[in-house]
Structure 1
Amino acid sequence: MRAANAITLDTTLPGASRRRVWVHPEVKSHSLVVLTFDRLYVAPPTGAPKAELLAAIGAGGNLEELLGPLAVVVELVAVQNLKLDLLSNSLVVEYVNGLGTSRLTVVFASPEAADLCFTKLWRRLGDGHKLQPYQRDAWSLARGPLVMLAGVLAATAALALTLSVFEDMASARAAARLSAPDGMTLPKSPLEHLLGWMSWRGVCAVGGIAAGASQVWLYRKLTRPPVSLEVTRT
Protein backbone atom coordinates (compact mmCIF):
# COMPACT_ATOMS: atom_id res chain seq x y z
CA MET A 1 0.00 0.00 0.00
CA ARG A 2 1.38 3.39 -1.00
CA ALA A 3 2.09 5.77 1.83
CA ALA A 4 -0.14 8.80 2.04
CA ASN A 5 2.73 11.25 1.76
CA ALA A 6 4.70 9.35 -0.92
CA ILE A 7 6.07 11.43 -3.78
CA THR A 8 6.13 10.07 -7.33
CA LEU A 9 9.03 11.33 -9.46
CA ASP A 10 8.55 11.58 -13.23
CA THR A 11 11.97 11.03 -14.80
CA THR A 12 10.75 11.30 -18.38
CA LEU A 13 12.38 14.12 -20.31
CA PRO A 14 9.91 16.89 -21.21
CA GLY A 15 8.54 16.25 -24.70
CA ALA A 16 10.52 13.03 -25.13
CA SER A 17 7.44 10.85 -25.55
CA ARG A 18 5.52 13.33 -27.68
CA ARG A 19 4.80 12.36 -31.26
CA ARG A 20 5.84 14.85 -33.91
CA VAL A 21 3.71 14.69 -37.04
CA TRP A 22 4.19 16.22 -40.50
CA VAL A 23 1.52 15.67 -43.14
CA HIS A 24 0.96 16.27 -46.83
CA PRO A 25 1.20 18.89 -48.41
CA GLU A 26 3.77 20.02 -45.86
CA VAL A 27 5.55 16.79 -46.80
CA LYS A 28 5.87 16.57 -50.59
CA SER A 29 7.32 13.08 -50.98
CA HIS A 30 5.05 11.20 -48.56
CA SER A 31 1.62 11.51 -47.03
CA LEU A 32 2.68 11.36 -43.40
CA VAL A 33 5.80 11.48 -41.23
CA VAL A 34 5.65 10.58 -37.55
CA LEU A 35 8.59 10.88 -35.17
CA THR A 36 8.37 9.10 -31.83
CA PHE A 37 10.88 8.71 -29.05
CA ASP A 38 12.62 5.75 -30.68
CA ARG A 39 11.27 5.42 -34.23
CA LEU A 40 10.58 7.32 -37.43
CA TYR A 41 7.48 6.33 -39.42
CA VAL A 42 6.98 7.41 -43.04
CA ALA A 43 3.76 6.58 -44.87
CA PRO A 44 3.63 6.18 -48.68
CA PRO A 45 2.46 9.12 -50.84
CA THR A 46 -1.32 8.66 -50.91
CA GLY A 47 -2.33 12.28 -50.49
CA ALA A 48 -3.42 14.11 -47.37
CA PRO A 49 -4.26 11.73 -44.49
CA LYS A 50 -7.75 11.63 -43.05
CA ALA A 51 -8.63 13.51 -39.90
CA GLU A 52 -9.59 10.25 -38.17
CA LEU A 53 -6.10 8.87 -38.77
CA LEU A 54 -4.44 11.98 -37.38
CA ALA A 55 -6.70 11.89 -34.33
CA ALA A 56 -5.83 8.24 -33.69
CA ILE A 57 -2.12 9.00 -33.99
CA GLY A 58 -2.44 11.91 -31.58
CA ALA A 59 -4.33 9.70 -29.13
CA GLY A 60 -1.42 7.26 -28.97
CA GLY A 61 -2.74 4.53 -31.26
CA ASN A 62 -0.55 1.73 -32.56
CA LEU A 63 1.32 3.23 -35.51
CA GLU A 64 2.07 -0.09 -37.20
CA GLU A 65 -1.63 -0.85 -37.37
CA LEU A 66 -2.68 2.68 -38.28
CA LEU A 67 -0.15 3.21 -41.09
CA GLY A 68 -0.22 -0.29 -42.52
CA PRO A 69 2.50 -2.58 -43.89
CA LEU A 70 3.65 -0.15 -46.61
CA ALA A 71 4.95 2.40 -44.13
CA VAL A 72 8.71 2.65 -43.65
CA VAL A 73 9.80 2.25 -40.03
CA VAL A 74 13.28 3.38 -38.99
CA GLU A 75 14.69 2.51 -35.59
CA LEU A 76 16.56 5.58 -34.37
CA VAL A 77 19.27 3.43 -32.79
CA ALA A 78 20.05 2.14 -36.30
CA VAL A 79 20.53 5.59 -37.86
CA GLN A 80 24.10 6.09 -39.07
CA ASN A 81 23.84 9.36 -40.94
CA LEU A 82 21.35 12.22 -41.16
CA LYS A 83 21.62 14.90 -43.84
CA LEU A 84 19.56 18.02 -44.46
CA ASP A 85 19.80 19.31 -48.03
CA LEU A 86 19.18 23.05 -47.77
CA LEU A 87 18.65 23.47 -51.50
CA SER A 88 15.95 20.84 -51.99
CA ASN A 89 14.47 20.92 -48.45
CA SER A 90 15.01 17.19 -48.19
CA LEU A 91 16.02 14.96 -45.31
CA VAL A 92 18.17 11.90 -46.05
CA VAL A 93 18.34 9.20 -43.38
CA GLU A 94 20.84 6.36 -43.67
CA TYR A 95 20.17 3.46 -41.34
CA VAL A 96 21.10 -0.16 -40.83
CA ASN A 97 18.53 -2.91 -41.29
CA GLY A 98 18.62 -6.65 -41.75
CA LEU A 99 19.69 -6.33 -45.39
CA GLY A 100 22.49 -3.83 -44.83
CA THR A 101 22.33 -0.05 -45.10
CA SER A 102 19.23 1.66 -46.46
CA ARG A 103 18.50 5.26 -47.33
CA LEU A 104 15.25 7.13 -46.80
CA THR A 105 14.64 10.52 -48.42
CA VAL A 106 11.83 12.79 -47.26
CA VAL A 107 11.15 16.01 -49.18
CA PHE A 108 9.39 18.92 -47.50
CA ALA A 109 7.54 21.83 -49.05
CA SER A 110 9.30 24.54 -47.03
CA PRO A 111 12.73 25.01 -45.45
CA GLU A 112 11.09 25.64 -42.07
CA ALA A 113 9.43 22.22 -42.03
CA ALA A 114 12.60 20.47 -43.18
CA ASP A 115 14.70 22.27 -40.56
CA LEU A 116 12.22 21.46 -37.79
CA CYS A 117 12.15 17.76 -38.65
CA PHE A 118 15.95 17.66 -38.89
CA THR A 119 16.31 19.37 -35.51
CA LYS A 120 13.79 17.12 -33.74
CA LEU A 121 15.27 13.98 -35.23
CA TRP A 122 18.83 15.01 -34.39
CA ARG A 123 17.80 15.75 -30.80
CA ARG A 124 16.26 12.31 -30.40
CA LEU A 125 19.29 10.58 -31.87
CA GLY A 126 21.19 11.62 -28.75
CA ASP A 127 24.78 12.48 -27.97
CA GLY A 128 26.12 9.65 -30.09
CA HIS A 129 25.60 11.73 -33.24
CA LYS A 130 27.60 14.86 -33.98
CA LEU A 131 27.12 17.66 -36.48
CA GLN A 132 29.88 17.67 -39.07
CA PRO A 133 31.65 20.96 -39.91
CA TYR A 134 29.55 22.59 -42.59
CA GLN A 135 32.22 25.10 -43.63
CA ARG A 136 35.21 23.88 -45.59
CA ASP A 137 38.74 24.94 -44.78
CA ALA A 138 39.35 28.51 -45.91
CA TRP A 139 42.56 27.61 -47.74
CA SER A 140 40.91 24.82 -49.71
CA LEU A 141 38.19 27.26 -50.76
CA ALA A 142 40.59 30.06 -51.69
CA ARG A 143 43.26 27.93 -53.38
CA GLY A 144 41.77 28.07 -56.88
CA PRO A 145 41.04 31.82 -57.00
CA LEU A 146 44.40 32.69 -55.42
CA VAL A 147 46.31 30.53 -57.90
CA MET A 148 44.41 32.19 -60.73
CA LEU A 149 45.12 35.66 -59.33
CA ALA A 150 48.83 34.93 -58.91
CA GLY A 151 49.05 33.51 -62.43
CA VAL A 152 47.26 36.50 -63.94
CA LEU A 153 49.50 38.99 -62.13
CA ALA A 154 52.69 37.13 -63.04
CA ALA A 155 51.71 36.71 -66.70
CA THR A 156 50.59 40.34 -66.98
CA ALA A 157 53.80 41.65 -65.43
CA ALA A 158 56.03 39.45 -67.61
CA LEU A 159 54.18 40.25 -70.83
CA ALA A 160 53.92 43.98 -70.11
CA LEU A 161 57.64 44.16 -69.31
CA THR A 162 58.51 42.29 -72.51
CA LEU A 163 56.35 44.56 -74.64
CA SER A 164 57.83 47.62 -72.96
CA VAL A 165 61.31 46.38 -73.87
CA PHE A 166 60.17 45.81 -77.45
CA GLU A 167 58.91 49.40 -77.65
CA ASP A 168 62.26 50.67 -76.40
CA MET A 169 64.03 48.51 -78.97
CA ALA A 170 61.78 49.85 -81.73
CA SER A 171 62.57 53.41 -80.70
CA ALA A 172 66.31 52.66 -80.65
CA ARG A 173 66.05 50.96 -84.05
CA ALA A 174 64.32 54.01 -85.53
CA ALA A 175 66.98 56.32 -84.12
CA ALA A 176 69.73 54.10 -85.48
CA ARG A 177 68.14 54.10 -88.94
CA LEU A 178 68.19 57.88 -89.03
CA SER A 179 71.81 58.07 -87.96
CA ALA A 180 73.10 55.22 -90.12
CA PRO A 181 74.63 56.41 -93.42
CA ASP A 182 73.19 53.57 -95.45
CA GLY A 183 69.83 53.40 -93.59
CA MET A 184 70.43 49.83 -92.42
CA THR A 185 68.81 48.68 -89.15
CA LEU A 186 68.89 45.56 -87.03
CA PRO A 187 66.19 43.02 -87.96
CA LYS A 188 63.36 42.17 -85.57
CA SER A 189 63.61 39.03 -83.50
CA PRO A 190 61.04 36.21 -83.96
CA LEU A 191 59.51 37.09 -80.59
CA GLU A 192 59.04 40.68 -81.72
CA HIS A 193 57.25 39.47 -84.83
CA LEU A 194 55.00 37.29 -82.65
CA LEU A 195 54.15 39.87 -79.98
CA GLY A 196 54.81 43.10 -81.81
CA TRP A 197 51.12 43.77 -82.47
CA MET A 198 50.39 43.91 -78.73
CA SER A 199 50.53 46.96 -76.48
CA TRP A 200 51.69 46.77 -72.90
CA ARG A 201 48.87 49.15 -71.93
CA GLY A 202 46.28 46.81 -73.41
CA VAL A 203 47.89 43.83 -71.69
CA CYS A 204 47.73 45.63 -68.33
CA ALA A 205 44.06 46.47 -68.91
CA VAL A 206 43.16 42.86 -69.73
CA GLY A 207 45.22 41.62 -66.78
CA GLY A 208 43.42 44.02 -64.45
CA ILE A 209 40.04 42.73 -65.61
CA ALA A 210 41.13 39.11 -65.11
CA ALA A 211 42.52 39.92 -61.65
CA GLY A 212 39.24 41.57 -60.70
CA ALA A 213 37.30 38.52 -61.87
CA SER A 214 39.48 36.23 -59.76
CA GLN A 215 38.84 38.42 -56.70
CA VAL A 216 35.09 38.21 -57.28
CA TRP A 217 35.43 34.43 -57.53
CA LEU A 218 37.40 34.39 -54.28
CA TYR A 219 34.76 36.46 -52.49
CA ARG A 220 31.95 34.19 -53.64
CA LYS A 221 33.84 31.07 -52.60
CA LEU A 222 34.53 32.39 -49.11
CA THR A 223 31.04 33.79 -48.49
CA ARG A 224 28.99 30.97 -50.02
CA PRO A 225 26.54 29.59 -47.45
CA PRO A 226 26.44 25.85 -46.71
CA VAL A 227 24.24 23.70 -48.95
CA SER A 228 23.69 20.91 -46.43
CA LEU A 229 23.96 19.96 -42.76
CA GLU A 230 25.07 16.46 -41.84
CA VAL A 231 24.95 14.52 -38.58
CA THR A 232 26.88 11.26 -38.29
CA ARG A 233 27.28 8.61 -35.64
CA THR A 234 30.49 8.97 -33.68
Structure 2
Amino acid sequence: MLVGVTLRDRFKIIKELGSGGFGDTYLAEDIHCKNRLCVVKHLQLKPPNTAAALPIAQRLFATEAKVLYKLGVHDQIPTLYADFEVNGQFYLVQELIRGHDLTKEIYPGNKLTEIAARQLLIDILEILAFVQQEQIIHRDINPQNIMRRQDGKIILIDFGAVKEITTLHVTTPGHEPRSIAAGTIGYMPSEQFQGHPKLSSDIYAVGMLIIYAITGIQPHELPEDPTNGEIIWRNRADVSNGFAKILTKMVRY
Protein backbone atom coordinates (compact mmCIF):
# COMPACT_ATOMS: atom_id res chain seq x y z
CA MET A 1 0.00 0.00 0.00
CA LEU A 2 1.30 3.41 -0.98
CA VAL A 3 -1.25 5.55 0.87
CA GLY A 4 0.56 8.45 2.53
CA VAL A 5 3.68 8.03 0.40
CA THR A 6 4.90 10.86 -1.85
CA LEU A 7 6.43 9.60 -5.08
CA ARG A 8 9.24 11.57 -6.71
CA ASP A 9 8.69 14.31 -4.11
CA ARG A 10 5.65 15.31 -6.11
CA PHE A 11 2.72 12.87 -6.16
CA LYS A 12 1.17 12.37 -2.72
CA ILE A 13 -0.93 9.21 -2.57
CA ILE A 14 -4.32 9.91 -0.96
CA LYS A 15 -6.23 6.64 -1.27
CA GLU A 16 -6.46 3.41 -3.22
CA LEU A 17 -8.99 3.44 -6.07
CA GLY A 18 -8.70 -0.16 -7.13
CA SER A 19 -6.56 -3.26 -7.33
CA GLY A 20 -6.32 -5.87 -10.03
CA GLY A 21 -4.07 -8.22 -11.93
CA PHE A 22 -1.96 -5.37 -13.29
CA GLY A 23 -1.27 -3.75 -9.92
CA ASP A 24 -2.90 -0.94 -7.99
CA THR A 25 -4.49 2.39 -8.86
CA TYR A 26 -4.41 5.37 -6.50
CA LEU A 27 -5.84 8.86 -6.20
CA ALA A 28 -3.01 11.32 -5.66
CA GLU A 29 -2.35 15.04 -5.34
CA ASP A 30 0.25 16.72 -7.52
CA ILE A 31 1.88 18.94 -4.90
CA HIS A 32 3.67 20.89 -7.64
CA CYS A 33 0.23 21.93 -8.91
CA LYS A 34 -1.91 22.61 -5.88
CA ASN A 35 -5.43 21.22 -5.94
CA ARG A 36 -4.75 19.09 -9.03
CA LEU A 37 -5.77 15.54 -8.38
CA CYS A 38 -4.46 12.74 -10.57
CA VAL A 39 -4.44 8.96 -10.92
CA VAL A 40 -1.30 6.93 -10.20
CA LYS A 41 -1.11 3.45 -11.70
CA HIS A 42 1.42 1.17 -10.03
CA LEU A 43 2.29 -1.60 -12.47
CA GLN A 44 4.04 -4.70 -11.16
CA LEU A 45 5.83 -7.54 -12.91
CA LYS A 46 4.50 -10.95 -12.06
CA PRO A 47 6.70 -13.92 -11.17
CA PRO A 48 8.24 -16.16 -12.33
CA ASN A 49 11.29 -14.89 -14.23
CA THR A 50 10.81 -11.32 -13.02
CA ALA A 51 14.52 -10.49 -13.26
CA ALA A 52 14.84 -11.94 -16.75
CA ALA A 53 11.79 -10.05 -17.96
CA LEU A 54 12.83 -6.68 -16.51
CA PRO A 55 14.83 -5.38 -19.53
CA ILE A 56 11.94 -6.21 -21.88
CA ALA A 57 9.45 -4.64 -19.47
CA GLN A 58 11.56 -1.46 -19.31
CA ARG A 59 11.48 -1.13 -23.08
CA LEU A 60 7.75 -1.85 -23.28
CA PHE A 61 7.05 0.65 -20.52
CA ALA A 62 9.07 3.36 -22.27
CA THR A 63 7.22 2.66 -25.51
CA GLU A 64 3.85 2.71 -23.76
CA ALA A 65 4.59 6.02 -22.06
CA LYS A 66 5.58 7.53 -25.40
CA VAL A 67 2.27 6.36 -26.88
CA LEU A 68 0.25 7.81 -24.00
CA TYR A 69 2.01 11.17 -24.19
CA LYS A 70 1.18 11.29 -27.90
CA LEU A 71 -2.47 10.30 -27.50
CA GLY A 72 -3.05 12.52 -24.46
CA VAL A 73 -3.18 15.61 -26.68
CA HIS A 74 -6.72 14.50 -27.60
CA ASP A 75 -9.38 16.02 -25.37
CA GLN A 76 -11.08 12.64 -24.94
CA ILE A 77 -8.02 10.64 -23.88
CA PRO A 78 -6.49 11.22 -20.42
CA THR A 79 -3.31 13.30 -20.33
CA LEU A 80 -0.20 11.50 -19.08
CA TYR A 81 1.60 13.74 -16.57
CA ALA A 82 4.57 11.53 -15.70
CA ASP A 83 6.09 8.06 -15.97
CA PHE A 84 8.93 6.58 -13.97
CA GLU A 85 10.43 3.34 -12.68
CA VAL A 86 11.74 2.60 -9.19
CA ASN A 87 13.44 -0.76 -8.52
CA GLY A 88 11.54 -2.58 -11.25
CA GLN A 89 8.23 -1.03 -10.22
CA PHE A 90 6.54 1.08 -12.90
CA TYR A 91 4.36 4.12 -12.36
CA LEU A 92 2.08 6.08 -14.69
CA VAL A 93 0.52 9.35 -13.53
CA GLN A 94 -2.54 10.42 -15.49
CA GLU A 95 -5.30 13.00 -15.54
CA LEU A 96 -8.23 12.22 -13.25
CA ILE A 97 -11.46 11.91 -15.23
CA ARG A 98 -14.52 12.96 -13.25
CA GLY A 99 -17.58 11.04 -14.32
CA HIS A 100 -18.66 7.40 -14.62
CA ASP A 101 -17.76 4.44 -16.80
CA LEU A 102 -20.26 2.91 -19.21
CA THR A 103 -21.11 0.01 -16.91
CA LYS A 104 -23.57 2.52 -15.40
CA GLU A 105 -25.33 2.79 -18.77
CA ILE A 106 -24.71 -0.62 -20.34
CA TYR A 107 -25.54 -3.58 -18.13
CA PRO A 108 -27.39 -6.93 -18.34
CA GLY A 109 -31.08 -6.52 -19.08
CA ASN A 110 -30.87 -2.85 -20.03
CA LYS A 111 -31.38 -1.89 -23.68
CA LEU A 112 -30.41 1.45 -25.20
CA THR A 113 -32.59 2.89 -27.93
CA GLU A 114 -31.22 2.85 -31.46
CA ILE A 115 -30.84 6.64 -31.35
CA ALA A 116 -28.78 6.47 -28.14
CA ALA A 117 -26.72 3.54 -29.44
CA ARG A 118 -26.00 5.30 -32.75
CA GLN A 119 -24.75 8.40 -30.95
CA LEU A 120 -22.59 6.33 -28.61
CA LEU A 121 -21.10 4.49 -31.59
CA ILE A 122 -20.28 7.77 -33.33
CA ASP A 123 -18.73 9.21 -30.14
CA ILE A 124 -16.46 6.20 -29.64
CA LEU A 125 -15.44 5.91 -33.29
CA GLU A 126 -14.47 9.59 -33.45
CA ILE A 127 -11.87 8.95 -30.72
CA LEU A 128 -10.81 5.64 -32.25
CA ALA A 129 -10.24 7.32 -35.62
CA PHE A 130 -7.61 9.54 -33.96
CA VAL A 131 -6.01 6.55 -32.21
CA GLN A 132 -5.83 4.53 -35.41
CA GLN A 133 -4.27 7.42 -37.32
CA GLU A 134 -1.34 6.87 -34.96
CA GLN A 135 -1.37 3.13 -35.79
CA ILE A 136 -2.16 2.28 -32.18
CA ILE A 137 -4.34 -0.63 -31.03
CA HIS A 138 -6.14 -0.17 -27.70
CA ARG A 139 -6.82 -3.93 -27.28
CA ASP A 140 -9.25 -3.66 -24.37
CA ILE A 141 -12.28 -1.60 -25.38
CA ASN A 142 -15.19 -2.50 -23.12
CA PRO A 143 -17.70 -0.57 -20.95
CA GLN A 144 -15.26 -0.31 -18.02
CA ASN A 145 -12.65 1.40 -20.19
CA ILE A 146 -14.94 4.05 -21.60
CA MET A 147 -16.06 6.89 -19.36
CA ARG A 148 -18.68 9.57 -19.69
CA ARG A 149 -17.15 12.74 -18.33
CA GLN A 150 -19.27 15.15 -16.30
CA ASP A 151 -19.71 17.31 -19.39
CA GLY A 152 -21.23 14.31 -21.21
CA LYS A 153 -18.25 13.61 -23.47
CA ILE A 154 -17.02 10.06 -23.99
CA ILE A 155 -13.43 9.38 -22.78
CA LEU A 156 -11.34 6.36 -23.81
CA ILE A 157 -9.11 5.16 -20.97
CA ASP A 158 -6.76 2.33 -19.95
CA PHE A 159 -4.85 1.50 -23.10
CA GLY A 160 -4.31 -2.25 -23.04
CA ALA A 161 -0.64 -2.35 -24.00
CA VAL A 162 0.40 -1.65 -20.43
CA LYS A 163 -0.82 -5.13 -19.56
CA GLU A 164 2.07 -6.57 -21.56
CA ILE A 165 4.41 -5.30 -18.87
CA THR A 166 2.51 -6.89 -16.01
CA THR A 167 2.10 -10.35 -17.53
CA LEU A 168 5.44 -10.58 -19.30
CA HIS A 169 7.42 -13.80 -19.04
CA VAL A 170 10.52 -15.18 -20.74
CA THR A 171 10.34 -18.74 -21.98
CA THR A 172 13.60 -18.99 -23.92
CA PRO A 173 16.72 -16.95 -23.13
CA GLY A 174 17.13 -14.15 -25.64
CA HIS A 175 13.69 -14.54 -27.18
CA GLU A 176 10.66 -12.39 -26.52
CA PRO A 177 7.16 -13.90 -26.49
CA ARG A 178 4.71 -12.78 -29.15
CA SER A 179 2.13 -10.16 -28.24
CA ILE A 180 0.23 -11.22 -25.14
CA ALA A 181 -3.51 -11.76 -25.57
CA ALA A 182 -4.52 -8.83 -23.38
CA GLY A 183 -8.19 -8.02 -23.53
CA THR A 184 -11.61 -8.99 -22.24
CA ILE A 185 -13.44 -12.18 -23.24
CA GLY A 186 -16.38 -11.40 -25.49
CA TYR A 187 -14.76 -8.26 -26.90
CA MET A 188 -11.69 -9.98 -28.39
CA PRO A 189 -11.84 -11.23 -31.98
CA SER A 190 -10.06 -14.47 -32.85
CA GLU A 191 -6.85 -12.87 -34.13
CA GLN A 192 -6.40 -10.91 -30.90
CA PHE A 193 -7.10 -13.96 -28.76
CA GLN A 194 -4.31 -15.74 -30.65
CA GLY A 195 -1.90 -12.91 -29.89
CA HIS A 196 -2.07 -11.09 -33.24
CA PRO A 197 -4.19 -7.96 -32.67
CA LYS A 198 -4.85 -5.60 -35.58
CA LEU A 199 -6.48 -2.19 -35.92
CA SER A 200 -9.67 -4.01 -36.91
CA SER A 201 -9.62 -5.81 -33.54
CA ASP A 202 -10.69 -2.58 -31.85
CA ILE A 203 -13.49 -2.15 -34.40
CA TYR A 204 -14.74 -5.60 -33.40
CA ALA A 205 -14.68 -4.65 -29.70
CA VAL A 206 -16.69 -1.47 -30.31
CA GLY A 207 -19.22 -3.43 -32.34
CA MET A 208 -19.66 -5.96 -29.54
CA LEU A 209 -20.06 -3.15 -27.01
CA ILE A 210 -22.87 -1.57 -29.03
CA ILE A 211 -24.54 -4.97 -29.55
CA TYR A 212 -24.44 -5.43 -25.77
CA ALA A 213 -26.00 -1.97 -25.39
CA ILE A 214 -28.96 -2.74 -27.67
CA THR A 215 -29.57 -6.35 -26.60
CA GLY A 216 -28.85 -6.11 -22.88
CA ILE A 217 -26.88 -9.36 -23.23
CA GLN A 218 -23.20 -9.55 -22.35
CA PRO A 219 -21.00 -10.41 -25.36
CA HIS A 220 -19.69 -13.68 -23.95
CA GLU A 221 -23.28 -14.88 -23.46
CA LEU A 222 -24.32 -14.42 -27.09
CA PRO A 223 -24.33 -17.65 -29.13
CA GLU A 224 -22.19 -18.24 -32.22
CA ASP A 225 -23.25 -19.78 -35.50
CA PRO A 226 -21.34 -23.11 -35.58
CA THR A 227 -21.13 -23.03 -39.38
CA ASN A 228 -19.29 -19.73 -39.73
CA GLY A 229 -18.37 -18.44 -36.27
CA GLU A 230 -20.57 -15.35 -36.53
CA ILE A 231 -22.26 -13.91 -33.43
CA ILE A 232 -26.05 -14.46 -33.36
CA TRP A 233 -27.67 -11.30 -31.99
CA ARG A 234 -30.06 -9.75 -34.54
CA ASN A 235 -33.13 -11.45 -33.08
CA ARG A 236 -32.37 -9.89 -29.68
CA ALA A 237 -32.37 -6.22 -30.76
CA ASP A 238 -35.03 -3.82 -32.03
CA VAL A 239 -33.02 -1.75 -34.50
CA SER A 240 -33.20 -0.84 -38.17
CA ASN A 241 -31.73 -3.13 -40.81
CA GLY A 242 -29.26 -0.43 -41.85
CA PHE A 243 -27.83 -0.08 -38.34
CA ALA A 244 -27.78 -3.86 -37.89
CA LYS A 245 -25.83 -4.21 -41.14
CA ILE A 246 -23.12 -1.86 -39.88
CA LEU A 247 -22.78 -3.72 -36.56
CA THR A 248 -22.74 -7.11 -38.29
CA LYS A 249 -19.86 -5.95 -40.46
CA MET A 250 -17.95 -4.64 -37.42
CA VAL A 251 -18.07 -8.00 -35.66
CA ARG A 252 -17.66 -10.25 -38.67
CA TYR A 253 -15.51 -13.33 -37.93
Q: TM-score range by the shorter chain?
A: under 0.3
Which protein, 1 or 2, shows the higher relative CO under an 8 Å CA cutoff with sep ≥ 6? 1
Larger Rg, first or second structure (1 or 2): 1
More helix by percentage: 1
TM-score normalized with structure 2 length: 0.19
